[in-house]
Amino acid sequence: MLSCAKLLAISNNQLVVSAKSAIQSVDDKIAKQTLTATQQSIQAQIENMTAVLSDLGSENERGLAAMNQAIESIQKLQKGVKGYAKAEASDVLASCKEVLKACAKLVFAPNQAEASTACSESVSAYDKLLNESSTFAKTAPNAQISAGLTNASNNSAAMMVKLLEAAKVASTSRSDPKSQKQLETASEQVTASINAIIMALRKFPGEQDLALTEKGTDLDSLAEAEMNKCAELIANAAMLLEKLKFDRDSQLPDYLKSVNTGIFDAATAIARAVAMLVKASAIAQKERQANAKAAQGAKYHADPMWTDGLISAAQEVSATIQELVKAAQDCAAGNGQEELLVATARMVNQATAHLVSASRAKADPNAQSQRDLSNAAKSVATASNSLVKNAGALGKLNSPEEEEEDFSTLSGVQQQRKAHNINNKMLEIEVQIKAEQQRLFDIRKQKYDVK
């Protein structure tokens, strides 16, 4: 949107210049051509901005469409698959893991775009799972074991359809505890169905020790370790930002120092707010683990879907914080663009939304850790807004106002030459815009195409 607005502003400024030239030189064909080209450029910019706005406004509709498409695709797979030429138990196991990862992405998706991607991945995972199960079932020592595997796989696909239906409801009522509970229940059923597939695989000769996780692996410990790693990285990032702020001050002119301080202070505030959020998430994870152990006793086992979602969310936060540090460093040094800094801050917001969603799963909404989680999320948003504001100030400093040119002092030949150069520059910009529009179209097509 910001890029569209800037290009439209450029075209509008050019329209004023072209109009003045056309009025001053009524018989000048080049001036008329330049004015016409400018008008066409503005129309193209308006259409492009409208397309972007429409894209943003219809995100929810596309997400629902992706879920419906995924449901239809999985139901079609349930009616029968051809199978592969060859498949091993390890192949089926790998597909089971892909299913759980896709489910975690769907359940913890902070927006419809990521939910759409998760839908596509779930279809792909079940396509492989059902085909591999059908193929490997043919190697069973008897019909009962063979049917056990195919039935378990088909049942898992049915549970995935239920999860997608629950996700459709939850997508329109994220704050509704009832719909969120239904989503959690549906996801637990998918996990249970995957465990049933593993049990069916163990009945095959030589597969008695097959498991989703390696022997001795503690998923809860892995999640806790990832959270601790994330917290340490963020703490180091905050210290680095503080150091960079003072280092850069000594290298910058006076008019940039206040902006430099504002950028680094805001980036540091984001890092500290995210650190609070990670701490609250870690506490929520421990509370959920303790409650589950108290309820299930000796039967307790970590849910791989939930732990995988928490781990991936923590890793995403770590990666975006690192990007934020780099963007802040480049921007304050004059080597980066304020748009990139703003985009990076929003990436952090999205990553933290993912972490918040994963941390709220199966948690008591009235627990203190959940209130701390909400407060930390608000702090991240506040700090991000501050960073955007300071980045905007930097943009104004880096983009001084252009002085209006006085074409009346130019000769007729000079005006024609100037108009010709401007027209060529506009055509170059239009070519670049069309190329970027095609890239944007290709990205959207791939992102929301559910096979």
Looking at residue 130, its pLDDT comes to 95
Q: Where in the chain is the domain with CATH 1.20.1420.10?
A: 58-201
Which residues of the chain fall short of a pLDDT of 70? 1-4, 6-7, 10-11, 52-59, 173-177, 214-219, 247-257, 259-260, 292, 296-303, 305, 331-339, 361-363, 388, 390-417, 419-421, 423-451
Looking at residue 16, its pLDDT comes to 77
Q: What is the CATH number of domain 219-398?
A: 1.20.1410.10
Looking at residue 435, its pLDDT comes to 67
pTM of the full structure? 0.59
Return the HEC string of the chain: CHHHHHHHHHHHHHHHHHHHHHHHCCCCHHHHHHHHHHHHHHHHHHHHHHHHHHHHHCHHHHHHHHHHHHHHHHHHHHCCCCCCCCCCHHHHHHHHHHHHHHHHHHHHCCCHHHHHHHHHHHHHHHHHHHHHHHHHHCCCCCHHHHHHHHHHHHHHHHHHHHHHHHHHHHHCCCCCHHHHHHHHHHHHHHHHHHHHHHHHHCCCCCCCCCCCCCCCCCHHHHHHHHHHHHHHHHHHHHHHHHHHHHHHHCCCCHHHHHHHHHHHHHHHHHHHHHHHHHHHHHHHHHHHHHHHHHHHHHHCCCCHHHHHHHHHHHHHHHHHHHHHHHHHHHHHCCCCCHHHHHHHHHHHHHHHHHHHHHHHCCCCCCCHHHHHHHHHHHHHHHHHHHHHHHHHHHHHHHCCCCCCCCHHHCCHHHHHHHHHHHHHHHHHHHHHHHHHHHHHHHHHHHHCCCC
Which CATH code, of 3.90.650.10, 3.30.300.30, 1.20.1420.10, 3.20.20.70, is assigned to 58-201? 1.20.1420.10
Looking at residue 173, its pLDDT comes to 65
